[in-house]
Amino acid sequence: MPTLSVTRIWRFLPIAIVGTRRLPQSLIGVCLGPIVLVSREYVRDQPTLIHELEHSKQFFKGGLIVHFVRYWLSTDYRLKVEAQAFAAEIAACPSHIALSRFHESARALSCGYGLSLTCAQCEVILLGYLNPNVAQN
Ligand SMILES: [Zn+2]
């Protein structure tokens, strides 16, 4: 049976978090705007939830359906929003696991999003998003 909890982004906008076993095997979480589906094994993993909630913010900032269309049609946009979400996820990690999560995130970004980037390239990109002194476009 799915689990349900509600959290807020920007302190006022409710987001439903549904823990489920019904995600495709390779997916940990999926953001559908105001609804986040998370594999039940990760439903209490705060960095994973932060990643998906970052996507909820992107959904509302990016113009709802426009965000989804850009995500699926533009690899540049997909890279940008995933890098932002992974950076938020890594920043939410306790320091003793942040480095391993950084490497896992770079590997996931290089393999799971159709971006045609190497893991090393993704590490450099993620470092840019983690370092506030590096300009982002
Ligand atoms: Zn993501």
* pLDDT tens, residue by residue, 33-46: 999 999 999 999 99
pTM score, whole prediction: 0.90
For residue 51, the CA-to-ligand 1 centroid distance in Å is 6
Distance, CA of 92 to CA of 77 (rounded, Å)? 23
Identify the band that residue 134 occupies on the pLDDT scale cut at 50, 70 and 90.
Answer: low
For residues 13 and 60, the answer to whether their CB atoms sit within 8 Å is yes
Distance, CA of 106 to CA of 100 (rounded, Å)? 10
Q: Name the amino acid, one letter, at 75.
A: T
For residue 86, the CA-to-ligand 1 centroid distance in Å is 7
**Burial category of 10 from C-beta neighbours within 10 Å (exposed 0-12, middle 13-18, buried 19 and up):** exposed
What count of other Cβ atoms lies within 10 Å of the Cβ of residue 102?
19
In this model, does residue 127 exceed pLDDT 50? yes
Provide the pLDDT for residue 23. 87
- 3-class SS string, 11-68: CCEEEEEEEECCCCCCCCEEECCCEEEEEHHHCCCHHHHHHHHHHHHHHHHCCCHHHH
- Residues within 5 A (CB) of ion ligand 1: 82, 85
- Comparing C-alpha atoms, which of 58, 120, 117, 66 is closest to residue 88? 58
* pLDDT tens, residue by residue, 62-75: 888 999 999 999 99
As given in the structure block, the two tokens for residue 86 are: 């992974």
Provide the pLDDT for residue 133. 56
Q: Sign of dihedral through CA atoms 18, 30, 22, 46?
A: negative
For residue 24, the CA-to-ligand 1 centroid distance in Å is 15
